[in-house]
């Protein structure tokens, strides 16, 4: 079997393993996890109240749901498109009511999220009967259900690629496997004086590419700026392009930048937290504001009225048939109008399989954050295009994979990585970064990018304070640091955490917390803000990011900040999140709590260095690393990083 087919078959097999593992994990969690725990993990809302119901612009029957007992710091995982099921609490003889094993009864209706914010969501229901059943429940909750849709879509895409014969899809499949050279146009390079040399080269390489181009953008190198310019220039030569990314957030980000350039964007898929700027560009809002929409809505209402009065007879049947024909005609007309106005169609990779896009093909697909997308997900969108442009950084966060064996066998190897390996001539590395003090960037450049990434002159020496050290490592295994912690705790009459600075295993998804390290992190932050001057910090609106690889640690740090009076006026300038939740972001001051502290030198998933590359490249001016150097230095990366920080502080 040829290499290209073998690679796709292998992807399909590994994706099946991931699907089965995730499905089983979901089943176990659904059966064994109590309601309180599901709520804390963001998988469930309970209790909820039922608000108004209505038909939305796409003729879907929806209902508003509000959670009434939510804590501010509980982040939920409900977002557009995700499947959900409503449930009631079992009562009566024999029903268990303790938090760990509270008995629930799932309602039979399969629903999905249309919109979700902090404490309110809009849910699509399959019928009006579903609403009657929901309203009849006294103690109502809603929980996430296993999402089959994205897997089905990915499997379908891989099958299309496997079965491709004598067409463009087969050609791209073979090309990406490295069996031939990608083709290029030949014309003189264009000049873009507002871009640097490598950004300009990247845009030209995109324009020259007949088949594929890769824009490799390390942290702070202006990948989005370059990609937007490449799209803009492509639109001088093509009528319409497809722009995709793995997440709604990434799609919205690139879409917003295109809108700023005056590009007409049609955003497919209603993101869960769409900003005001992008709202008017969504398919739903454009559909609603079309001149023909009022007529369509009236016809749909007439159809519903006839169905609900359940009138019978030939005349009614004929009338319904005529109304449906007219509704279909109007829908097609509105749809054609929206697509004819758009120069860019933007959606997630899974969203590119939407029925709204049936029949639409594109000369070029641009895939942003391609290094975070499974190969199967990329093929969903590629099926609609004849030319592929990928942008991202395979030295930053990889796709999220739950099955260890699938990961070990290569499911985490992305299409972008394959193309970088097999087709190096198609890749342009952006080499100038505009974010970090040079000392912060230098280590990342040496370790991950062969020393090829340099700092722009204007950021080389950027700092918060004069004569400040841009990077420090506070070693929690140091006796001096431990004494400082004890003294501070004694002065504040706070409890000294037992087994100082030792990590604790929490259990949920191998979560770990290091409470003394969390306390130390906030002590250091307070200390640094005082050094800057609290008033100056507020006047200049300096911002801080506090991150950790472990979610449990970030939750604990958040709870400490909430309790401390000192941080009250500063809270809006302090963001606490996981490393994964911080990709693509930057702050003036960054603090990293590494958590791991043990005698055996075990560091778990901290050995995935791509995650640490993200962590250490978020800071513009000051990076403070808090961690046990004796534990972490068992790994050569952390040993080298620690030595580097000590060296620049000499």
**Exposed, middle or buried: residue 648 (CB in 10 Å: 0-12, 13-18, 19+)?**
middle
Provide the β-strand partners of residue 213. 389
Q: What is the pLDDT of residue 275?
A: 58
Sign of CA dihedral 13, 401, 635, 437: positive
How confident is the model over 295-316, as a mean pLDDT?
80
pLDDT-derived band at 405 (thresholds 50, 70, 90) equals very high
Residue (of 34, 440, 5) closest to 179 by Cα position: 5
Strand order across the beta sheet in which 471-475 lies: 471-475, 619-627, 587-593, 544-548, 574-578
For the chain, the average pLDDT equals: 90
Reply yes or no on whether the pLDDT at 247 is more than 90. Answer: no
Buried-state track 454-473, b at ≥16 Cβ within 10 A, e below 16: bbbeebeebebeeeeebbbb
| Residue pair 360/385 in contact by the 8 Å Cβ criterion | no
Local structure of 220: helix, strand or coil = coil
DSSP E strand stretches across 139-272:
140-144, 212-216, 241-245, 265-267
Buried-state track 557-586, b at ≥16 Cβ within 10 A, e below 16: bbeebeeeeebeebeebbbbbbbeebbbeb
Residue (of 525, 501, 444, 487) closest to 627 by Cα position: 501
DSSP 492-527: TTPPPPSSTT--EE--GGG-EE-HHHHHHHHHHHHH
- pTM value surpassing 0.75: yes
User: Residue 87, Cβ neighbours under 10 Å: how many?
Assistant: 19
Reply yes or no on whether the pLDDT at 36 is more than 70. Answer: yes
Least confident of 88-97, 275-284, 399-408: 88-97
pLDDT-derived band at 94 (thresholds 50, 70, 90) equals very low
The DSSP code for 436 is S
Q: What is the pLDDT of residue 508?
A: 57
Q: What is the pLDDT of residue 495?
A: 60
Distance separating alpha carbons of residues 78 and 44, to the nearest angstrom: 9
Q: What is the pLDDT of residue 314?
A: 61
Least confident of 81-95, 161-175, 511-525: 81-95
pLDDT-derived band at 370 (thresholds 50, 70, 90) equals very high
Q: What is the pLDDT of residue 93?
A: 44
Distance separating alpha carbons of residues 86 and 91, to the nearest angstrom: 16
Q: What is the pLDDT of residue 497?
A: 58
Strand order across the beta sheet in which 265-267 lies: 265-267, 344-348, 241-245, 362-368, 385-392, 212-216, 427-429
Most confident of 23-32, 93-102, 296-305: 296-305
Q: What is the pLDDT of residue 95?
A: 42
Residue (of 624, 615, 642, 616) closest to 525 by Cα position: 624
pLDDT-derived band at 256 (thresholds 50, 70, 90) equals very high
Reply yes or no on whether the pLDDT at 298 is more than 80. Answer: yes
**Exposed, middle or buried: residue 310 (CB in 10 Å: 0-12, 13-18, 19+)?**
exposed
pLDDT, one tens digit per residue, over 408-433 is: 999 999 999 999 999 999 999 999 99
Tokens of 128: 């009006």
| Residue pair 496/489 in contact by the 8 Å Cβ criterion | yes
Token pair 């087994």: residue: 499
Q: What is the pLDDT of residue 58?
A: 75
How confident is the model over 191-220, as a mean pLDDT?
97
Token pair 């080298």: residue: 640
Task: Give the phi and the psi of residue 544 in degrees, each rounded to 5.
Answer: -130, 140
pLDDT-derived band at 89 (thresholds 50, 70, 90) equals confident
Provide the β-strand partners of residue 182. none
Q: What is the pLDDT of residue 32?
A: 75
| Residue pair 62/53 in contact by the 8 Å Cβ criterion | yes
pLDDT, one tens digit per residue, over 259-285 is: 999 999 999 976 444 556 777 888 888
How confident is the model over 365-376, as a mean pLDDT?
97
What proportion of the chain, given as a percentage, has pLDDT over 90?
70
Reply yes or no on whether the pLDDT at 649 is more than 70. Answer: yes
Q: What is the pLDDT of residue 498?
A: 57
Q: What is the pLDDT of residue 51?
A: 93
Task: Give the phi and the psi of residue 285 in degrees, each rounded to 5.
Answer: -70, -40
């Amino acid at each position: 079997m040829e290499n290209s087919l073998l690679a796709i078959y292998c992807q399909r097999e590994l994706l099946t393993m991931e699907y089965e593992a995730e499905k089983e994990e979901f089943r176990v969690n659904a059966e064994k996890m109590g309601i309180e725990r599901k709520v804390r993990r963001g998988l469930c809302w309970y209790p909820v109240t039922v608000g108004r119901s209505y038909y939305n612009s796409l003729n879907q029957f929806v209902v508003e749901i509000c959670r009434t007992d939510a804590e501010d710091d509980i982040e939920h995982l409900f977002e557009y498109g995700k499947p959900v099921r409503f449930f009631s609490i079992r009562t009566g003889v024999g029903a268990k009511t303790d938090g760990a094993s509270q008995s629930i009864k799932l309602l039979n209706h399969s629903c999905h999220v249309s919109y979700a914010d902090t404490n309110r969501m809009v849910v699509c229901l399959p019928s009006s009967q579903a609403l009657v059943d929901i309203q009849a429940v006294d103690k109502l909750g809603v929980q996430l259900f296993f999402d089959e849709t994205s897997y089905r879509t990915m499997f379908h895409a891989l099958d299309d690629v496997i079965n491709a014969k004598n067409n463009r899809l087969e050609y791209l499949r073979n090309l990406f496997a490295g069996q031939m050279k990608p083709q290029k146009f030949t014309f003189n390079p264009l000049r873009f004086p507002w871009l640097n040399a490598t950004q300009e080269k990247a845009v030209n390489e995109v324009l020259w590419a007949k088949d594929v181009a890769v824009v490799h953008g390390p942290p702070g190198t202006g990948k989005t700026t370059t990609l937007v310019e490449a799209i803009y220039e492509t639109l001088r030569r093509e009528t319409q392009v497809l722009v995709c990314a793995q997440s709604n957030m990434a799609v919205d980000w690139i879409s917003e930048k295109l809108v700023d350039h005056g590009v007409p964007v049609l955003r497919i898929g209603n993101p869960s937290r769409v900003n005001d700027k992008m709202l008017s560009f969504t398919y739903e809002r454009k559909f609603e504001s079309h001149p023909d929409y009022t007529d369509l809505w009236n016809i749909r209402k007439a159809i519903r009225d006839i169905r609900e009065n359940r009138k019978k007879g030939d005349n009614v049947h004929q009338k319904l048939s005529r109304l449906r024909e007219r509704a279909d005609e109007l829908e097609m007309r509105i749809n054609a109008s929206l697509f004819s106005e758009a120069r860019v169609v933007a959606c997630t990779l899974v969203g590119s399989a939407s029925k709204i896009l049936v029949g639409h093909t594109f000369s070029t697909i641009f895939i942003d954050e391609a290094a975070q997308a499974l190969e199967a997900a990329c093929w969903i969108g590629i099926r609609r295009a004849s030319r592929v442009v990928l942008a991202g950084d395979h030295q930053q966060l990889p796709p999220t994979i739950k099955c260890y064996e699938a990961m070990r066998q290569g499911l985490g190897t992305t299409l972008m990585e394959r193309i970088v390996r097999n087709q190096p001539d198609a890749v342009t590395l952006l080499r100038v970064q505009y974010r970090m003090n040079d000392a912060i960037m230098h280590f990342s450049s040496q370790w991950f990018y062969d020393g090829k990434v340099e700092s722009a002159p204007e950021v080389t020496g950027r700092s918060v304070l004069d004569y400040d050290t841009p990077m420090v490592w506070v070693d929690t295994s140091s006796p001096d640091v431990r004494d400082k912690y004890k003294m501070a705790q004694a002065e504040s009459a706070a409890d000294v955490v037992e087994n100082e600075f030792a990590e604790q295993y929490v259990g949920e998804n191998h979560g770990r917390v290091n409470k003394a390290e969390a306390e130390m992190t906030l002590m250091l932050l307070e200390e640094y803000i005082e050094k800057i001057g609290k008033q100056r910090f507020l006047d200049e609106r300096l911002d801080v990011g506090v991150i950790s690889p472990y979610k449990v640690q970030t939750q604990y740090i958040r709870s400490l900040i909430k309790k401390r009076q000192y941080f009250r006026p500063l809270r809006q300038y302090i963001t606490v999140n996981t490393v994964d939740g911080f990709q693509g972001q930057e702050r003036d001051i960054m603090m990293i709590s590494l958590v791991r502290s043990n005698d055996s030198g075990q560091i778990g998933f901290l050995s995935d260095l791509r995650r640490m590359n993200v962590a250490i490249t978020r800071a513009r001016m000051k990076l403070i690393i808090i961690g046990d150097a004796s534990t972490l230095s068992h790994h050569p990366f952390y040993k080298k990083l620690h030595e580097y920080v000590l060296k620049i502080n000499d």
